[in-house]
Structures are given as structure tokens and as C-alpha cells.
Amino acid sequence: MTRILITYFSSTGNTKALAEAVAEGVQSVEGVECVMKSVPQTTNDDWLAADGIIVGSPTYFGQMAARVKQMFDTTAKIYGQLEGKVGAAFTTSGGAGCGHETTNMSIITAMLVAGMVVQGTTQGPHFGPFAVGAPDEKALRDAREMGIRVATLCKRLAVSGQPSAVSNP
């Protein structure tokens, strides 16, 4: 069975709400298990057990929150073992133009450095869903759709024999 880890940091509940919508999308794909944890609960073993990893963070100064970055820093202990896993990002911010795209790109950049596969979308938001304040219906819909895309891509890669949590060393 394909496993997707959704890990998020949320101080106001907005990022958690978006994470829950991502989880709805993931869970709607047959044959996919969804594991949702806050960043402090997430371990390297969780990363290794997942075929796909979706990370959510509030936008702080146009970047991921320090706790999310600290989680990525911890994965240095398993460097090389995340290659081929599917990754995606989502974020929340306090206002329009506060850096949600750069926040998602900071998460995606860390994933690419780890050798992960990141799928965008032509429909937008291209770098991952975002919400300004509490997620509205459009943000929740975008989050659910991203969950579906990631789960579907993970299943496709598993069928095609591409690297996944099962075949990585």
C-alpha cells in the first residue's frame, strides 16, 4: 500500500486546517494510506516509511517556519534515503503578498536537494496551495486536489518500479 505522510507546523490552526484538506484528498485515492503528524511529532522513520511527503508551514518572513527547517535539518541523518520519494508543499500567511510562493519554494528546494520528486500543476497555484488567514473554500479545494495528485503520482511510480519507500536502501 502506498503511504503519504502529511507533516505540518501550525501556531494558529490555519495550517492544520489546510493539512486536513490535503489529507481528505489523499484519503480519497484508493490504495493509499495517509499519516498526518505535526512537525514536532514527525521522525526520520516517518519520512523513510512514506512514499510521498507533503509539508505545510506558515509563512514567516517569506520562508518556512524555523521548526519546519529544523525538521529538514534532522533529515540530514538519512540523506540519500529520500531520493525518489514524492514531495509537495503548502502554506498559510497573514496577508496577500506575504511570501506564500517563496515559502513553498523554500520547502520544495529542501525536497529537491534531498532528491525528491515534486509535481507542479498548470492550474495553479503552481508551487502548492496556500491560504491567507483561515483557509477559504478555494484554498481547501486546492489542498484536496494536491493531495489527490501526490497520492496518484506515488501510486504510478510504485507501479512503474521507480524508487519509493519500499525500494530505497
Determine, yes or no, domain membership for 169. no
Shortest CA distance to 90 belongs to which of 60, 116, 59, 56?
Answer: 56
Determine, yes or no, domain membership for 166. no
- Which of these ranges, 15-19, 106-110, 133-137, 163-167, has the smallest mean pLDDT? 163-167
pTM beyond 0.95, yes or no: no
Within 13 Å of residue 118, how many CA atoms lie on the same side as its CB?
22
Determine, yes or no, domain membership for 107. yes
DSSP class of residue 60?
B
Distance CA 15, CA 64 (A): 12
Grade residue 158 by pLDDT with cuts at 50, 70 and 90.
confident
Domain that holds residue 44: 2-160
Each residue's pLDDT tens digit, 29-66: 999 999 999 999 999 999 999 999 999 999 999 999 99
| 105: CB partners within 8 A, 6+ apart | 127
Distance CA 93, CA 36 (A): 21
Determine, yes or no, domain membership for 167. no
Each residue's pLDDT tens digit, 64-99: 999 999 999 999 999 999 999 999 999 999 888 888
Distance CA 107, CA 11 (A): 18
